[in-house]
Structure 1
């Protein structure tokens, strides 16, 4: 797709041999339109030649083929997800990705799939990393003793303890800062895999099949509730912390005491996402009022011309969200929040306003 912008590309047409492997959904319409702007034709055997978006029959054809291909994509994804659930639950299999800070990967035998085994692939398991495992144990011990996350961050940076990005820079090239942050410490303290159990599906990805040729292709990662996690039936690796310590630390997170001793309610906790950096916004109490902020400029890399902190008061948000949902302005705040949670909506916030993001409808597979 990058080559079609080059006037000296050396070709003037692209032939799609198998549409199932070439596109899904309405991707092909965007691809054909992009190619046409640069003088490149897209040939499809089912069309008997080059595709023409001005031809009604061609448009109907590619939409039918796109729906068929997307159905196959969803089927394949469901099969893969089902297999990964079984591998995690029944076998405690490590399914890829970065090893959690505090662990390292070691070979655990040949791959059970004969075809993969013939290629020389093997399976891996997690093993405590002697360089970083003590830091993980220290974090849980100190946090359970009552120290705040921010206090732990300050201590780690003062001592010069390598943060995850600094410990493994080759796998963390997207991280420009080499310091501990509240987010990095909190993510370690919230990871149940340190108890020795294999846990999968803590996150899910909302795949966007609409714009494959665009650099801003949306691929939204969401944290799943614990009810959707898949946990192995037996321990799969050495634990760095006991289950009792892990549970105690989670209770500290959920029952954080306030200085005034009063309970605080945040109606939109977990429902707001920063429109600047994509992170989930934090609940924050200021001047006796609930609010939400994103400190993308403090806890991670910040692009130029980006505000250091985005802060929105809850009472101001209620009016904006009610308007975006076409609800009466007099609607109660709890009703507005219930509407969002019932329909699994997400509010994208910027300094200029808010927008409602609806969940992408699931394609029913026969």
Structure 2
């Protein structure tokens, strides 16, 4: 029997990838070799957290794609340790795919193949998934507790780039004997004689009443290098040569200039990528913590650049200047949702335009300071405005024309025909015969095993044989039920029904609630780019791979009469732009789809 091996090692495990793969492979081979198994393919993820679902691990995803392929060269998958492969409920979301395609899954803790119909096997795998999740949580708790104690009690520098105004100095050997033997040492912060006066100047000028933008402009005019320009070795990805307001704000809000070590200013939250599709897993979001959650060292751990009183005065000034929240940011006020929030990009600087009410009307604004224009060498006015009411009608007309009626029906029909031809070409009756033969052989084996049991064979041994053969039979039966039915072509009625549904949807667009309308624009993948020179808005519909209607573009051409409507490179990409003519809109814009 031929097997594919899957394993994983991450930074959490603190193991050498080669050593980890070797012992996982050894454990997998010890399970399958007594049954005549042989590993013919290996899939091993390195440096990826176990919390990532299989579809977001490169090697696991490649394994899933191979499982779906009729030409795969293995019959089952074996793993060395379930805790490394499955986290939380991942087994329940992955194993049905194996069963669907008739591929077995062997796990050492089960003693062989997992039986899809066994509640005991499901319980065991769910238990190991929970253990994997619990182990990861315990590691996080231990690390965070240690970092809190080291900051509070020792004032230890915990890594990262030093704040502007400081540099790193040696603080002796590492207290962990193993790390000390590897040559690792502790570090501490000491004032940088070049940048220390700049930090003191920023705090003094801000408390004296000067604004952040004015301070940044003054530093640039005086020829003082900004943080990224001064420390180019740690900022090779940045080319900023002027001081930005955000850099001044970051310095003013950094409490470590008071001489005390501060930890837990920010946290990393794991949030669902899609609340409607939990199987996609989570993604990390970095967020600021409330100052009450910060952990301060009990004593000074390095030389202060400013006094605690000066730091507190600066924080009070930040809060007092036009803001009302503890974070120092002005609260948002809006009487109604902006229809195109986050969907409009400035064609000059490629930044997103933000909503801005003016004289009772809603606008989208893009501002650029003189320093920003000089740094990026662009021709950008101080402020650009685009009125929402001027583009709403043309955008609705654009969507109605391109995503409803005959153009939509023709596109759906061409893609459906292409998918049918591809499915028909892949339909192979040889696989049906092989599956039926597998089922017949399994029935023969089960009959022999039962005869052996009646003749006085070892019940435990025979039961294992029957369980393994039954799993192979069930997987083949499941695959056969899906393979026997030939692919079906989408009927004209089905295509018209889809097109009619879109017609009804856009028929309600004009009188829709603004909140519902904004959500519809976002879900459709609408993207707008404002070109202030010709006063034109370029619109496109970019449909993500997870929700797109057209999965394949036949020959890269949705309209053979117009070679510019669908470029060949669109095929199999994650987005599909639709092209159309230009609509002359009112006042500010003409809407063009691109």
TM-score interval (norm. to shorter): 0.5 to 0.7
Tell me, in whole angstroms, the C-alpha distance in 2 between the residues paired with 1:27 and 1:168. 44
**1:221 Cα deviation (Å)?**
0.9
Residues 143-162 of structure 1: matches in 2 within 5 Å?
143-162=206-225
Tell me, in whole angstroms, the C-alpha distance in 1 between the residues paired with 2:332 and 2:319. 15
Aligned equivalent of 1:74, options 113, 137, 159: 137
What's the secondary structure of 2:164's corresponding residue?
Answer: coil
Match of 2:173 in 1: 110
State whether structure 2 residue 318 is matched by structure 1 residue 249.
no
Q: 1:72 to 1:2 in 2, by over 3 A?
A: closer
Q: Which moved more, 1:157-166 or 1:106-115?
A: 157-166
Q: 1:53 to 1:190 in 2, by over 3 A?
A: farther
Gaps of 5+ in 1: 259-263, 303-307, 314-348, 355-366
Aligned equivalent of 1:126, options 186, 189, 209: 189
**1:233 Cα deviation (Å)?**
0.7
Match of 1:63 in 2: 126
Tell me, in whole angstroms, the C-alpha distance in 1 between the residues paired with 2:253 and 2:170. 26
Q: 1:90 to 1:136 in 2, by over 3 A?
A: same
**1:156 Cα deviation (Å)?**
2.5
**1:51 Cα deviation (Å)?**
6.9
Tell me, in whole angstroms, the C-alpha distance in 1 between the residues paired with 2:103 and 2:243. 49
Match of 1:320 in 2: none
Indicate if the aligned counterparts of 2:267 and 2:288 stay in contact, CA closer than 8 A: yes
Tell me, in whole angstroms, the C-alpha distance in 2 between the residues paired with 1:97 and 1:119. 20
What's the secondary structure of 2:109's corresponding residue?
Answer: helix
TM-superposition CA deviations, 1:203-251 (whole Å, max 9, x none): 111146999xx99961111111111111011000011111121111111
Q: Between Structure 1 and Structure 2, how many residues are aligned?
A: 294
Q: 1:48 to 1:296 in 2, by over 3 A?
A: farther
Q: 1:294 to 1:46 in 2, by over 3 A?
A: farther
Match of 1:185 in 2: 248
State whether structure 2 residue 301 is matched by structure 1 residue 236.
yes
**1:266 Cα deviation (Å)?**
2.9
TM-superposition CA deviations, 1:2-52 (whole Å, max 9, x none): 4564999xx978754334445532456677799999999875323445779
**Which is richer in helix?**
2
Tell me, in whole angstroms, the C-alpha distance in 1 between the residues paired with 2:297 and 2:115. 52
* Structure number, greater radius of gyration: 2
Residues 1-366 of structure 1: matches in 2 within 5 Å?
1-2=57-58, 5=62, 16-27=79-90, 44-48=107-111, 60-175=123-238, 177-207=240-270, 218-256=283-321, 266=331, 287=358
Q: 1:210 to 1:288 in 2, by over 3 A?
A: closer
Indicate if the aligned counterparts of 2:270 and 2:282 stay in contact, CA closer than 8 A: no
**1:128 Cα deviation (Å)?**
1.2
TM-superposition CA deviations, 1:305-338 (whole Å, max 9, x none): xxx9999x9xxxxxxxxxxxxxxxxxxxxxxxxx
Gaps of 5+ in 2: 1-56, 67-72, 324-328, 335-340, 344-351, 377-382, 389-517, 524-594
Q: 1:265 to 1:109 in 2, by over 3 A?
A: closer
**1:151 Cα deviation (Å)?**
0.9
Tell me, in whole angstroms, the C-alpha distance in 2 between the residues paired with 1:243 and 1:14. 61
TM-superposition CA deviations, 1:142-181 (whole Å, max 9, x none): 1111111111122233334322222233433454544422
**1:76 Cα deviation (Å)?**
1.9
Which of 1 and 2 has higher RCO (CA within 8 Å, sep 6+)? Answer: 1
What's the secondary structure of 1:220's corresponding residue?
Answer: strand
Q: 1:112 to 1:182 in 2, by over 3 A?
A: same
Tell me, in whole angstroms, the C-alpha distance in 1 between the residues paired with 2:280 and 2:225. 33
Q: 1:240 to 1:177 in 2, by over 3 A?
A: same
Indicate if the aligned counterparts of 1:295 and 1:309 stay in contact, CA closer than 8 A: yes
Tell me, in whole angstroms, the C-alpha distance in 2 between the residues paired with 1:143 and 1:237. 24
**1:186 Cα deviation (Å)?**
0.5
**1:199 Cα deviation (Å)?**
0.5
What's the secondary structure of 1:46's corresponding residue?
Answer: coil
Q: 1:265 to 1:47 in 2, by over 3 A?
A: same
Indicate if the aligned counterparts of 1:27 and 1:210 stay in contact, CA closer than 8 A: no
Q: CA RMSD, aligned part only?
A: 5.0
Tell me, in whole angstroms, the C-alpha distance in 1 between the residues paired with 2:190 and 2:315. 24
Tell me, in whole angstroms, the C-alpha distance in 1 between the residues paired with 2:97 and 2:238. 32
